[in-house]
Amino acid sequence: MTPYFTPLADRGVLEVAGADRVAFLQGLVSNDVAKAATGAPVHAALLTAQGKYLHDFLVIALGDALYLDCERARLADLQRRLALYKLRSKVTLADAGDRFTVTAAWGDDALAKLGLASGAAKPFAGGIAYADPRLATLGARMLIAASCESEIEALGFARADAADYDRHRLALGVPDGSRDLTIDKSILLENGFEELNGVDFRKGCYMGQELTARTKYRALIKKRLVPVTVDGPLPAPGTLITRGGEEAGEMRSGRDALGLALLRLDTLPGPFEAAGARLTPQPPMWMKLE
């Protein structure tokens, strides 16, 4: 099967530069930024002091800066929130979207064709290519100029649409930022961030750490974001999901006959109903449902 690539127009790039860039992010986000500084891509989130979701992003080092692959529509908000904590830190924050386009690559041998091992990164086309740190089967990400697509095609990749990548993501059960997590409300561990390498429980303090750790060690998870197949019209995000007439959860993002649903664990395995459609959970192998 031919591997595919597509630019992701809904993704932006925030540059974090300056001598204190690693220490600055380290005290704020849910994962170990020191790993990114050594060249490994990192998945991380910025939380409220109460441990609720604000932003998530992929962090990669290139040259003398760290780059955050984040939601384009919310990049300015992320930049503003980070700037609140700069104080006297030697750090600069800048939108790098005029230099880089976020591109995804996936499918059979996608990592091999790019010369990437799981968890690795390498210079590519004047930018960088790296294995998606969340899940190996997601494939790779690239921060490159839009004019460099021919270099991807030369490796044997076929161009696809962003909708194709979205279906790939949904089938794997991977959340897509604020499309699937509710700002100032969602909890990371309900949304797979532990299994998707978005939290380091040994890295030390960061904003929102207390609730995240307590949720894990006291087994307080009552809901999980689970991929579902949809028989019938695709319910809109936020649609109430029921089982036997009782509330069981809420619909999140979806496309065609695939979707993600935040479901109460005590209602699994379903099936469920939502706005005239029948939903059947399809938990992926990586998901640990207790």
At 1, the pLDDT band (50, 70, 90 cuts) reads low
State the pLDDT at residue 2: 82
At 249, the pLDDT band (50, 70, 90 cuts) reads very high
Which part of the chain has CATH 2.40.30.160? 177-281
At 201, the pLDDT band (50, 70, 90 cuts) reads very high
State the pLDDT at residue 146: 79
What's the pLDDT tens digit per position in 105-140?
999 899 999 999 988 999 999 999 999 999 999 999
Which part of the chain has CATH 3.30.1360.120? 7-155
Instruction: For residue 24, count CB atoms less than 10 angstroms from its CB and return exposed for 0-12, middle for 13-18, buried for 19 or more.
Output: buried
The residues facing 226 across adjacent strands are 261
92-95 vs 65-71, strand pairing mode: unpaired
> Which amino acid appears at position 144 of this protein?
I
Domain 7-155 sits in CATH 3.40.50.300: no
- Percentage of the chain modeled with pLDDT above 70: 99
Q: Are 20 and 33 in contact (CB under 8 A)?
A: no
How many C-beta atoms lie closer than 10 Å to residue 214's C-beta? 11
**pTM, rounded to two decimals:** 0.94
Task: Give the domain 177-281 fold.
Answer: Elongation Factor Tu (Ef-tu); domain 3 (2.40.30)
Higher-pLDDT residue of 220, 261: 261
Peptide bond into 175 cis (omega under 30): no
Q: Are 122 and 130 in contact (CB under 8 A)?
A: yes
State the pLDDT at residue 179: 97
State the pLDDT at residue 203: 87
- Percentage of the chain modeled with pLDDT above 90: 85
